Amino acid sequence: MKEEEALQIVKQIVNDWSKVYINQVFFDQEYGNILQYSVEFSKPSKQKPIPEGTVKVLFDIIQMDGDEYEVEFNFENESLKHKLDNTIRTNMFQSWIDRVLENKHKIKQQLHLGTEFEYTRSVDKKGNPVDPFVPKFDITKMQNLAKEAAKSQKISVDSPRFILTLERALIKLFEEADINLNGALTYS
């Protein structure tokens, strides 16, 4: 199968998926009998001609025997490979794109707090602003880090007993390496 034929197959498939989204098809690579394409779906509007987000779907066109081919695809955020007319009903493709785009918008809204007003929307129980980029459990862990370090440290490296034990271990290690027993180590 030629690259141009596979491109037309992908274009036909994605044009049937949605009449709401526009799409762009890109050739990615060819290896063996597989041609890979990526398709970006977006939904510009008159108010926002530059879309706020896109959804990428990755396609594999697999050349079988003769003129036969198989189509596999997966959405950008999933590792599950779908087969055409096998794992998703045709009328569900647009809702899958909607769901991925909606999730992206939610994340973007949570992460992009451009004004002071937006920043102050994230507050704790006492009404103090909370950094939305650091989850609460991480803040708690950082506050308790010194306590946890003190609990986990069982040996005080400043104690005379530890220093004596370390000194004995180093002397024993040196004596095992000193083959000539002359108090010096040779290069070998």
What is the structure's pLDDT at 38?
93
Q: Which residue has the higher pLDDT, 138 or 124?
A: 124
Q: Is 139 inside a domain boundary? A: no
Q: Is 131 inside a domain boundary? A: no
Same domain, 89 and 156: no
Cβ count near 34 (within 10 Å): 16
For the chain, what's the residue count?
Answer: 188
Same domain, 49 and 93: yes
Same domain, 105 and 152: no
Q: Is 130 inside a domain boundary? A: no
Domain hosting residue 94, numbered range = 3-111
Domain count, the chain: 2
Same domain, 97 and 35: yes
Three-state DSSP state, 161:
helix
Segment 77-104, tens digit of pLDDT: 788 888 877 767 767 888 888 888 888 8
